[in-house]
Amino acid sequence: MITPRADLVALRDSWRARGLRLVLTNGVFDLLHAGHVGYLQQARALGDLLVVALNSDASVRAIKGPLRPLTPEADRAALLAALRCVDYVMVFAEPTAEGVVTALRPEVYVKGGDYALGEGGPPDMERLPEARAVLAYGGEVRLLPYAAGRSTSELIRLIVERYR
């Protein structure tokens, strides 16, 4: 279900009152692939609800350059919302999801292992400012194993190589 941030904030109190464990992740999710699906399934298994905060088209361009995203935010959001493991999708425009974390205060914040300081290490706080926000209120940060060879960048490279 694609839901505005304000509505999720309003729902958050009822989830907490029912003792539900909220898991939050965020990202671009351009060219949805098996690596994304496996990651989201693992994230969902860490709690009772999974909210995916999706970078808006403008924030993707600011982060990844003018050629991205390849898929518009409305389509990316619809694909994510169609996955059984995803309970809610919200679009955010900021360059990082710190504001989303602060607003929703998830019990668990999840990102890929490529945000670790070395393999299996702690979160790289320079690259993952959301982790600081989560740890400040006592939440848990989980870095899931990176699925090597399963990335949007790799898919783009393969498509360009094969269709020159």
Q: What is the pLDDT of residues 42-90, one digit of tens each?
A: 999 999 999 999 999 999 999 999 999 999 999 999 999 999 999 999 9
Query: Longest C-alpha distance within the chain, in Å?
Result: 55
Among 147, 140, 146, 150, CA closest to 120: 146
Residue 66 structural domain: 5-162
Closest by CA to 106, choosing from 88, 123, 124, is 88
pLDDT at 115: 67
CATH code assigned at 102: 3.40.50.620
Cα–Cα distance between 6 and 103 in angstroms, integer? 9
**The pLDDT of residue 118:** 75
Helix (H, G, I), strand (E, B) or coil at 114: helix
Number of domains composing the chain: 1
| Spans of the chain below 50 pLDDT | none
